[in-house]
Amino acid sequence: MRKLLRARLTALAICITAALVLALSTAGAASAEGYGGYEICGSNCYIQSGGAHTFYFNEGASTGSPYLACQLFNSINANEVTHGYGYCVVYYGGGEYVWARVYNQSGKSHTVDGYAET
């Protein structure tokens, strides 16, 4: 009887440990999203991530050197923007859920790629 109880307790401990390890590894893992990759107009048209996440990094790239603006934002506390030539990168350290966008502000259509990371 005592042996059976000990075996059950051991199995339970293993299960709890495994669940904890899985939860911790999932929480610590960074996720990334590539978006866009198609042509957009140059009058402030943009590509956007598929959802809002705890993104801290967002970059945009295009052929040539058009004016690009990278943005991480939400409707509450975050609205970080960086403008660059043909490439831009913006960081947000607030840890909140934010959307990622890349704008083409060049006045001409360009193919624009975006990439955001948590």
Partner 1 sequence: MKIASRKNLLLAGALATALAVSGAGAYAAASSGTGAGPGEQAATVPPGPERQLRANGLNASEAKPLFTLANGERVGLVSNAATKCLVRSLAGRFAGETCATTAEIAEGHATTVGDECASTGRNLMEITGLAPEGVLSVRLISSDGTSRSTPVVSGAFKFDGTNPVADGPYPTGLEWVGSDASRVGTAGLPVDGDQFCLPTS
Sites of contact with partner 1 (CB under 8 A): 32, 34, 44, 57, 59-65, 67-69, 71, 73-91, 93, 101, 103, 105-107, 113, 115, 117
Strand positions, DSSP E, 1-118: 32-40, 45-48, 57-62, 67-73, 79-85, 87-91, 99-104, 110-117
CA–CA separation, 117 and 75 (whole Å): 19
The minimum distance between CB 19 and partner 1, in angstroms, equals 30
Nearer to partner 1, 6 or 83 (CB): 83
Nearer to partner 1, 3 or 81 (CB): 81
Nearer to partner 1, 1 or 60 (CB): 60
User: What residue type is assigned to position 57 of the chain?
Assistant: F
